[in-house]
Structure 1
Amino acid sequence: MTAGTGPVLHGRDVELALVRRMSDPSESRGGVEPVVLVAGGPGEGRSVLLARAARDFPGAAHVVGAPRRQVPWSAARALLDALAPSGAAAGRAARLARGPGGIAAALAALCPPGRGPVLLCLDDFPLWDAHSRAAFTAHWRTRGPRGTGRIGWLVASAPGRPLPAADAPVVRLPRLDRTSARALLADARGGRVGPSVAERLLDEADGHPGVLVETARRLAPGVLAGTVPRPPGPLVDDGALETVYGGLLGALPADGRRLLGVVARACGTPDAAGGAGGDRNRTDAGTALARARALRVPTEALDGLVAAGLLHRHGDALVFPDPFLRRAAACHGDRRAEPDRRRDGEPVSGREPRQEGDPVPGRDPRRGEDPMPWRGPRRDGSPRRDPGLPDPHDRHRADRLGPPPAVRARSAAARGRALLTRGFAALARGPVMDAHEAFLQAAKALRDREPAEAADARFLAMEAAWAAGDVTACLAALDLTPAAPGTERAFAEGLRAALLVRPDRARAPLASVVASGSVRDEPRLLLRAGSAALVLGDVTAATRLHGRALARARAEERASLLPRILEHLAYAELRAGRYARAAHAAGDGLRAARATGQLNSAAHQHAVLALVASVTGDEPSVGEHAQRALAIGRPHGLAQAVTLAEWALARAELGGGLPAQAAARLAPLVRPGPSGGHFALRMLAVPCFVEAAVASGRTAEAREATEQYALWAAFGLDRPAPAQLARCRALLARHGEETSRWFGEALRRHDDAGNEFERARTLFAYGTWLRRRRRPGEARGPLRDALVTFERAAADGWARQARAELRATGAPGTRRPEPSALAGLTPQQRRIARLVADGATNEEVATRLSLSPRTVDHHLRGVYARLQLRSRVELSALMAAAER
Structure 2
Amino acid sequence: MSGAPRVAAAPRLYDRTSELAAVAQLSARAAEGRGAVLLLTGGPGTGRTALLEQAVRDSRVRAHRVAAPGGNRVPWSGIRALLSALAPTPSAARRALRAARGPAGVPGALAALCPGEPLLLCLDDHHLWDAHSRTALDAAWRGNTGPWAWVVSFAAYHRPPDVPGARLLTLGRLSREGARHLLDDVCRVPLTASLRTRLLDEAAGHPGVLAATAARVPAEPKGGAGPSGPVIADASLSEVYRGLLDSLPAECGRVLTLVAVAGEPRPDAGRPDPAAGGADALRPVGADAVLAVARAVRASPEALDRLVADGLLRGTRGALRFDDPFLRRAVLGTVPPSRRRELYALFVPPAGGRSDARGGPAGGDDDSKGQGGAAAAPTPHPAGHGAGMSAAPPRPPGVSEESGTAGVPGAPAEADPVRDAAGGASRFRASHLAGEAAGAVRAPEDVPGLPGVVRGRAELARGLAALGDGPVGDAHQALLLAASLLRDGAPDEASEARFLAMEAAWAAGDPGACAIALGGGGSGADRTGTAEGADAAERDFRDGMRAALAVRLEEARAPLGRVVAHDGASDDPRRLLRAGAAALVLGDAPAAVRVHTRALATMRATARTALLPRVLEHLAYAELRSGQHELAAAHAREGLRTAESTGQRNAAAHQHAVLALAASVRGDAPAVVEHAGRALGTARAHGLVQARTLAEWSIARAELAGGLAAQAAARLAPLVGRGPRGGHFALRMLVVPCFVEAACAAGREAEAGTAAEEFAVWSGLGLDPQAPGQLARCRALLAGGGDSADWYREAVRHHEESGNDFERARTLLAYGKWLRRRRRLVEARRPLSDALVTFERAAAGVWADQARAELRATGGAADRRTVPGAVGELTPQQQRIAGLVAAGATNHEIADRLSLSPRTVDHHLRNVFARLGIRSRVELSGLLSRTTGDGRCSDR
Normalised by the shorter chain, which TM-score bucket? Answer: 0.5 to 0.7
Q: Which residue of 2 aligns with 1:269?
A: none
Instruction: For residue 468 of structure 1, report the CA deviation from its aligned partner.
Output: 0.3
Gaps of 5+ in 1: 1-177, 209-221, 227-235, 248-277, 306-310, 338-347, 354-409, 837-841, 843-856
Q: Which residue of 1 aligns with 2:468?
A: 428
CA distance in 2, matches of 1:806, 1:593: 43
CA distance in 2, matches of 1:179, 1:549: 37
Matched, 1:549 2:599: yes
Instruction: For residue 522 of structure 1, report the CA deviation from its aligned partner.
Output: 1.2
Q: Which residue of 1 aligns with 2:611?
A: 561
CA distance in 1, matches of 2:714, 2:284: 50
Q: Which residue of 2 aligns with 1:445?
A: 485
Instruction: For residue 789 of structure 1, report the CA deviation from its aligned partner.
Output: 0.4
Q: Secondary structure at the match of 1:673?
A: coil
Matched, 1:775 2:820: no
Instruction: For residue 739 of structure 1, report the CA deviation from its aligned partner.
Output: 1.0
Alignment of 1:405-804 (within 5 A): 411-479=451-519, 480=526, 481-482=529-530, 483=532, 484-736=534-786, 738-804=787-853
Alignment of 1:161-172 (within 5 A): none
Instruction: For residue 295 of structure 1, report the CA deviation from its aligned partner.
Output: 6.2
Instruction: For residue 832 of structure 1, report the CA deviation from its aligned partner.
Output: 9.2
Instruction: For residue 573 of structure 1, report the CA deviation from its aligned partner.
Output: 0.6
Alignment of 1:175-254 (within 5 A): 204=285
Structure 1 segments (4+ residues) deviating >2 Å = 178-186, 191-208, 241-247, 278-302, 313-320, 672-675, 812-821, 829-836, 859-862, 870-884
Q: Which residue of 1 aligns with 2:925?
A: 882
Q: Secondary structure at the match of 1:296?
A: helix
Alignment of 1:276-315 (within 5 A): 296-297=418-419
Q: Which residue of 1 aligns with 2:318?
A: none
Larger CA deviation: 676-685 vs 516-525: 516-525
Q: Which residue of 1 aligns with 2:140?
A: none
Q: Secondary structure at the match of 2:730?
A: coil
CA distance in 1, matches of 2:887, 2:491: 68
CA distance in 1, matches of 2:366, 2:514: 47
Q: Which residue of 1 aligns with 2:448?
A: 352
**Per-residue displacement from partner, 1:605-626 (whole Å, max 9, x unpaired)?**
0001001111101000000000
**Per-residue displacement from partner, 1:417-474 (whole Å, max 9, x unpaired)?**
1111111111001000100000011111111221221121111111000000001101
Q: Secondary structure at the match of 1:676?
A: coil
Alignment of 1:87-102 (within 5 A): none
CA contact under 8 A between 1:285 and 1:316: conserved in structure 2? no
CA distance in 2, matches of 1:552, 1:562: 10
Instruction: For residue 882 of structure 1, report the CA deviation from its aligned partner.
Output: 2.9
Equivalent residue letter for 2:638? D
Q: Which residue of 2 aligns with 1:138?
A: none
CA distance in 2, matches of 1:751, 1:181: 60
CA contact under 8 A between 2:396 and 2:606: conserved in structure 1? no
**Per-residue displacement from partner, 1:334-359 (whole Å, max 9, x unpaired)?**
9xx9xxxxxxxxxx99x836xxxxxx
CA contact under 8 A between 2:394 and 2:607: conserved in structure 1? no
CA distance in 1, matches of 2:752, 2:861: 36
Gaps of 5+ in 2: 1-260, 290-324, 330-355, 368-389, 408-415, 520-525, 873-879, 914-920, 928-940
Instruction: Report the structure number with the largest CA radius of gyration.
Output: 1
Equivalent residue letter for 1:790? F
Q: Secondary structure at the match of 1:449?
A: coil
Instruction: For residue 831 of structure 1, report the CA deviation from its aligned partner.
Output: 10
CA distance in 1, matches of 2:592, 2:646: 25
CA distance in 2, matches of 1:764, 1:733: 17
Equivalent residue letter for 1:574? L
CA distance in 2, matches of 1:609, 1:770: 34
Provide closer, same or farther for how the CA distance between residues 784 and 184 of structure 1 changes in structure 2, counting only shifts above 3 A. Answer: closer
**Per-residue displacement from partner, 1:562-596 (whole Å, max 9, x unpaired)?**
10000001000100011110111111111111111
CA distance in 2, matches of 1:540, 1:748: 20
CA distance in 2, matches of 1:873, 1:545: 60
CA distance in 1, matches of 2:399, 2:905: 64
Q: Which residue of 2 aligns with 1:806?
A: 855
Q: Which residue of 1 aligns with 2:864?
A: 815
Q: Secondary structure at the match of 2:843?
A: coil
Q: Secondary structure at the match of 1:519?
A: coil
Percent identity, aligned pairs only? Answer: 52
CA distance in 2, matches of 1:787, 1:561: 40
CA distance in 1, matches of 2:593, 2:907: 49
Equivalent residue letter for 1:773? R
CA contact under 8 A between 2:721 and 2:732: conserved in structure 1? yes
CA distance in 2, matches of 1:180, 1:724: 55
Instruction: For residue 875 of structure 1, report the CA deviation from its aligned partner.
Output: 6.1
CA contact under 8 A between 1:669 and 1:682: conserved in structure 2? yes
Provide closer, same or farther for how the CA distance between residues 521 and 875 of structure 1 changes in structure 2, counting only shifts above 3 A. Answer: farther
**Per-residue displacement from partner, 1:765-797 (whole Å, max 9, x unpaired)?**
111100111100000000000000011111111
Instruction: For residue 206 of structure 1, report the CA deviation from its aligned partner.
Output: 11
Provide closer, same or farther for how the CA distance between residues 725 and 301 of structure 1 changes in structure 2, counting only shifts above 3 A. Answer: closer
**Per-residue displacement from partner, 1:141-196 (whole Å, max 9, x unpaired)?**
xxxxxxxxxxxxxxxxxxxxxxxxxxxxxxxxxxxxx999958999xx9x967799
CA contact under 8 A between 1:694 and 1:702: conserved in structure 2? yes
Provide closer, same or farther for how the CA distance between residues 861 and 295 of structure 1 changes in structure 2, counting only shifts above 3 A. Answer: farther
Q: Secondary structure at the match of 1:669?
A: coil
CA contact under 8 A between 2:885 and 2:925: conserved in structure 1? no
Provide closer, same or farther for how the CA distance between residues 610 and 534 of structure 1 changes in structure 2, counting only shifts above 3 A. Answer: same
CA contact under 8 A between 1:669 and 1:685: conserved in structure 2? yes
CA distance in 2, matches of 1:791, 1:642: 29
TM-score by length of 1: 0.54
CA distance in 1, matches of 2:288, 2:790: 73
Q: Secondary structure at the match of 2:565?
A: helix
